[in-house]
Amino acid sequence: MLHSIISRATTIEISDDQGGNDGKVRLITTKDLSAITRYYQRNRQYLQPWEPVREEAFFTESGWQRRLEQLVQLQKHKMAFYFVIQMHDSNEICGVVNYSNVVRYPFFACHVGYSLDEGYQGRGIMPRALAATNQWMFDDQDMHRIIAAYMPRNGRSAAVLKKCGFTIEGEARDYLMINGQWEDHILTAKINDAWIAPLS
The 167-178 sheet, strands edge to edge:
3-6, 11-15, 23-27, 81-87, 95-103, 109-116, 145-150, 181-191, 167-178
Average confidence (pLDDT) over 117-129? 95
Is there a contact between 149 and 187 (Cβ–Cβ < 8 Å)? yes
DSSP assignment of 118-177 equals GGGTTSSHHHHHHHHHHHHHHHHH--SEEEEEE-TT-HHHHHHHHHTT-EEEEEEEEEEE
Lowest mean pLDDT among 19-28, 129-138, 139-148: 19-28
pLDDT at 127 exceeding the cut of 90: yes
Is there a contact between 81 and 98 (Cβ–Cβ < 8 Å)? yes
The DSSP code for 81 is: E
d(CA 94, CA 46): 13
* 53-87 tens-digit pLDDT: 999 999 999 999 999 999 999 999 999 999 999 99
